[in-house]
Amino acid sequence: MEEVVEQKVKTAFLPLKDTEVELLEATSPESPVAKFIEAKGEGIHHMAIRVDDLEATLAELKEKGIRLIDEKPRLGAGGAKIAFIHPKATGGILLELSER
């Protein structure tokens, strides 16, 4: 288990063949995860996709007019660089882009 202080969560990854399931635990009532659970109940918070070059991917999405939450990468669990695409751009799904 790892704490990601910036995002106010504890996280653990469960490997499943070629993919992983990430479990999240809010460490503060102000965390995005705590607010999500309060509003929608427990369940899937987001999906993540690995990319080879996060900065280039973000630049391409921005150029295409895709609504982003993060225009620049930030640090995520396990030292990954991450950024989120806004749910309004993905049919209601919060999508994380991750570079490891």
Give the mean pLDDT of the chain: 95
Residue the block writes with tokens 């704490």: 3
Q: How many Å apart are CA 19 and CA 67, to the nearest integer?
A: 26
Domain range annotation of the chain: 1-45, 47-100
Model confidence at 23, pLDDT cuts 50, 70, 90, reads: very high
> Is pLDDT above 90 for 54?
yes
- The pLDDT of 44-72, averaged and rounded, is 97
DSSP code for 94: -
CATH number for the segment(s) 47-100: 3.10.180.10
Q: What's the confidence (pLDDT) of residue 82?
A: 97
Three-class DSSP category at 8: coil
Tell me the whole-structure pTM to 2 decimals.
0.84
> Is pLDDT above 90 for 98?
yes
Q: Concatenated DSSP letters for 29-89?
A: TTSHHHHHHHHH-SS---EEEE-S-HHHHHHHHHHTT--BS-SS-EE-GGG-EEEEE-GGG
> Is pLDDT above 90 for 18?
no
Beta partners for 15? 20
